[in-house]
């Protein structure tokens, strides 16, 4: 009998980048303990005080490019899984990340969707064009596409804005044999609803790999807790050796 291909969808959040030196949002020492969400992560904040919002993202962009931030063992293991899984099970591995950093691509992942955008890109509020951005954004820049001045913003998804590539993500969730959630607290929708979607629209096995139980922990069929750089390489070795083992 022909065996069905086994696609894998992996949702990642800030926890996977913590051991690379980037702060999470909702942990005790997280970003939201230092700045107020409403002041920096909403379209209203950008309209009221663009300099403050640009400053917040300029600092995070500088930190990412500063030289000390590198992928860790968890990012590396997921890149390995993407390369080796097709030979093992004929399926495809896709990472859907909520993170705006570039650590998955730096580790070698290719099938990657940045549902909350990318800090190393700018978007023009006038024409919608998206362009590479490694410098501070502020007053005076012009859009490389339409040449309008002062219309560039970070290419990130703020609260109240629609995350990117949602139709493609739901198609992938409905056609996966395994849904893995890594390093996310399950506080932010629609990402927090992906586990339920994968369970109810398909036959996916679902597993949470996190430092601690997330908001939606009970929805997962399986869970393992610990630092991502320990858990993920071990789980990838297990998957490549034994395949998807439903517990
Ligand atoms: C480790 C670890 C280690 C630590 N190893 N693990 C009421 C009900 C339902 C929904 C809503 C509602 N009211 C409003 C909404 C919608 C809203 C929402 O979800 N709000 C909730 C807060 C309630 N969502 C939206 O607005 C989204 N858009 C949307 O819904 O559009 C539809 C729509 C639009 C318009 C009209 C109508 C409908 C957009 C959400 C955008 C989120 N943006 C941010 C900022 C992006 C840019 C930036 O980075 O600055 O995205 S907020 C922030 O949270 C960021 C993250 O991607 C996101 C998720 O955070 P994440 O990754 O889970 O991080 P943490 O810190 O929360 O968790 C880290 C985890 O790692 C923890 O569990 C740790 O334990 C763990 N960890 N170290 C492994 N070493």
The conformational region for residue 140 under phi > 0 = left, psi -120 to 50 = alpha, else beta, is left
Residue closest via CA to ligand 1's atom 53 equals 25
Mean pLDDT, the chain, rounded, equals 96
Q: How far apart are CA 211 and CA 226, in angstroms?
A: 4
What was the pLDDT predicted at 247? 66
Do the beta carbons of residue 78 and residue 49 sit within 8 Å?
A: no
Question: Which of 17, 100, 18 is closest to 56 using CA atoms?
Answer: 100
Cis preceding linkage at 246, omega within 30 = no
Residue closest via CA to ligand 1's atom 36 equals 160
Better-scored residue on pLDDT, 2 or 179: 179
pLDDT(246) > 80: no
pLDDT(187) > 80: yes
pLDDT(3) > 70: no
| pTM for this model (two decimals) | 0.97
pLDDT digits (tens, 9 = 90+) for 21-62: 999 999 999 999 999 999 999 999 999 999 999 999 999 999
52-68 burial string, b = 16+ CB within 10 Å, else e?
A: ebbebbbebbebbeeee
Residue closest via CA to ligand 1's atom 8 equals 189
Do the beta carbons of residue 97 and residue 134 sit within 8 Å?
A: no
Average pLDDT of the residues in 153-170: 98
Do the beta carbons of residue 129 and residue 44 sit within 8 Å?
A: no
pLDDT(225) > 50: yes
What was the pLDDT predicted at 1? 44
Cβ neighbours, 10 Å, residue 141: 17
- Relative to the CA of 214, which ligand 1 atom is closest? 73
What was the pLDDT predicted at 77? 98
What was the pLDDT predicted at 89? 83
pLDDT(118) > 50: yes
pLDDT(12) > 60: yes
What was the pLDDT predicted at 197? 97
Ligand 1, residues at Cβ distance < 6 Å = 13-15, 18-19, 24-27, 30, 41, 98, 100, 116, 156-163, 183-185, 187-190, 210-212, 214, 227-228
- Output the CA 182–ligand 1 centroid distance in Å: 13
What was the pLDDT predicted at 132? 97
Q: Is 98 helix (H, G, I), strand (E, B) or coil?
A: coil
Catalytic residues: 116
């Amino acid at each position: 009998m022909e065996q069905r291909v086994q696609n894998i969808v992996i949702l990642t959040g800030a926890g996977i980048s913590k051991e690379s030196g980037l702060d999470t949002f909702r942990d005790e020492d997280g970003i939201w303990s230092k700045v107020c969400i409403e002041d920096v992560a909403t379209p209203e904040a950008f309209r009221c005080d663009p300099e403050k919002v640009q400053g917040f993202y300029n600092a995070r962009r500088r930190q990412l490019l500063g030289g000390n931030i590198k992928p860790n063992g968890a990012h590396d293991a997921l890149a390995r899984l993407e390369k080796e899984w097709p030979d093992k099970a004929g399926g495809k591995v896709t990472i859907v990340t909520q993170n705006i950093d570039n650590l998955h691509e730096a580790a070698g992942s290719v099938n990657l969707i940045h549902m909350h955008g990318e800090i190393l890109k700018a978007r023009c509020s006038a024409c919608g064009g998206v362009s590479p951005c490694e410098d501070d954004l502020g007053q005076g820049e012009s859009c490389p596409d339409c040449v309008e001045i002062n219309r560039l913003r970070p290419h990130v998804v703020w609260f109240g804005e629609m995350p990117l590539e949602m139709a493609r993500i739901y198609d992938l969730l409905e056609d996966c044999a395994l849904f893995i959630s890594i390093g996310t607290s399950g506080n932010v929708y629609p990402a927090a609803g992906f586990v339920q979607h994968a369970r109810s629209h398909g036959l996916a096995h679902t597993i949470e790999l996190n430092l601690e139980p997330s908001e939606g922990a009970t929805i997962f069929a399986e869970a393992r807790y610990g630092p991502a750089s320990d858990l993920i390489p071990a789980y990838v070795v297990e998957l490549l050796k034994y395949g998807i083992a439903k517990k």
